[in-house]
Structure 1
């Protein structure tokens, strides 16, 4: 059977990560940070299964979604500060030890390519690319606006099947650019790739067919898009902004 990936192909390849479980080194949940975060504790107790296409983690600040994405990305072999498996840059290590406690159940014969897009560390990643240029050269990310550089990175790095981790990628993107990101995610899925994304964006979370996991004080629970607290809050706010704002400004 032909195993070569071609853009636009909808043939399903074996997904890079089928499930995430705790390994034998994992501490008992609730004693050591970040196991004190309910969602992280649930991952260590029960594990999580990832969808073949796109899985979103949605929740408030501090709910643990970014910690989980970071832990899985690092366990896969990606740089905690962003980039591919070949990226070896570090400015100030701040990652949690979660990756050391995770065991990834990988798909047989799955692609090993991966990329971690982390909004808060992209400036240092661009500097790393400047200082370590590829033989084919690269785009001048630092000369672009924040949003333009994100879109350029999507065009230049999100072009192969594999495992893509994204941590709040909408932070740099306008509404239209977020729609462009959705098109990129669809291209990855069509080519047999897999995506794990932490997001606050109701637009991004509306990606058709995605698995949505809502993260909060309850831990992790599956959810439908129209049931998300995130979506309901945005819907209510846009229908009547003054009703929300007067409680803050009076």
Structure 2
């Protein structure tokens, strides 16, 4: 994995020099096979062709099947994080369902930046908590004794989400109430405020998508496009539904 940016510092910006990861891109000597999943997903094909520059916070939004989880999974694994969630040292493994895209990627890191990272993946948190129970930490509760949302909250309040590092979250709102989502948003704001921590987030939540200063990428049949929060299709649908639920419900009844 590279430790410098071959394109020159001017294109990245001095403000990103302490962030763990500047860019992720396909290895030019080992590209993934064209026309084969997951490159059949437009956003993944664009990523393979152009790579992805990462600032302090990058948020991916879009419908199911647009490639959000595939992309964050590949980036997390290329960084050295476990596919089923955890830190760079996690070894928990239940079922290999990830794509092989990560094996074709290289990470362009910032010299001297933190190598710590954590991947919170909502769909595999149960197996992660089971793994933690097999070698319990004195600082952790028994996550399985908590409700789904409480266990996520306890994890987010632990030392795993403190200090400089690369934090990847895949649809973490699945277990969280509105107020719990606000608490997570506050934690992400705190993490990115120090200039040495980085967040890559996929979400369906309008709350989490509002992360201040984040680069918002909306995924769809067009690949991806940068968008402002108020212009996201996600936000438009929520506003329309809250203004008049009957306009949507009449198609369901």
Tell me if both proteins adopt one fold, taking TM over 0.5 as the criterion. Answer: yes
Post-superposition CA distance 1:22-69 (Å, at most 9, x none): 11211353x111011000000010111111x21100000000010000
Query: Do the aligned partners of residues 12 and 35 (structure 1) sit closer, same or farther apart at CA in structure 2, a change above 3 Å counting?
Result: closer
Gaps of 5+ in 1: 1-10
Q: 2:127 aligns with which of 120, 124, 148?
A: 124
Tell me the distance in 1 between the aligned counterparts of 2:233 and 2:242.
14
Report deviation, 1:137: 4.1
Residue in 2 that maps onto 1:169: 172
Cα separation, 2, equivalents of 1:27 and 1:124: 29
- Provide Cα deviations, 1:194-220, integer angstroms capped at 9, x if missing partner: 000000001110111111011111001
SS at match of 1:105: strand
Tell me the matched-pair count.
236
Matched, 1:240 2:249: no
Q: In the aligned structure 1, how far is the partner of 2:66 from the partner of 2:139?
A: 39
Determine helix, strand or coil for the equivalent of 2:66: coil
Match for 2:189 among 186, 190, 195? 186
Matches of 1:66 and 1:151, distance apart in 2: 21
Distance 1:92 1:173 in 2: 25
CA 1:36 to 1:150, structure 2 compared with 1: closer, same or farther past 3 Å?
A: same
Q: 2: CA distance between counterparts of 1:139 and 1:123?
A: 14
In structure 2, the partner of 1:47 is 51
Task: Give the CA RMSD over aligned residues.
Answer: 1.3
Say if 2:85 and 2:124, in contact at 8 Å, map to a contact too: yes
Superposed CA offset, 1:45-100 (max 9, x none): 0111111x211000000000100000000000000000001100100111100101
1:214 to 195, 213, 218: 218
CA distance in 1, matches of 2:141, 2:165: 22
Matches within 5 A, 1:55-66: 55-66=58-69
Q: Which of 225-234 and 188-197 deviates more?
A: 188-197
Q: State the partner residue of 1:142.
A: 144
Aligned to 1:248, the other structure's residue is in SS state coil
Q: 1:65-76 to 2 correspondence within 5 Å?
A: 65-76=68-79
Q: How many angstroms does 1:133 deviate by? A: 2.3
Of residues 28, 31, 36 in structure 2, which corresponds to 1:26?
A: 31
- TM-score, length of structure 1 as denominator length: 0.91
* Structure 1 residue aligned with 2:93: 90
Between the aligned partners of 1:81 and 1:173, the Cα distance in structure 2 is 19
Q: Deviations over 1:179-237 (max 9, x none)?
A: 00011101111232100000000111011111101111100111100110000000001
Runs of 4+ with deviation above 6 angstroms: none
1:12 positional shift: 7.3
Measure the CA separation in 1 of the matches of 2:108 and 2:176. Answer: 32
Q: Could you report, residue by residue, the CA deviation over 1:83-127 in whole angstroms, capped at 9, with x for unpaired residues?
A: 001100100111100101111111111100000000000000001
Give the TM-score normalised by the residue count of structure 2: 0.90
- Structure 2: gaps spanning 5 or more residues: 1-14
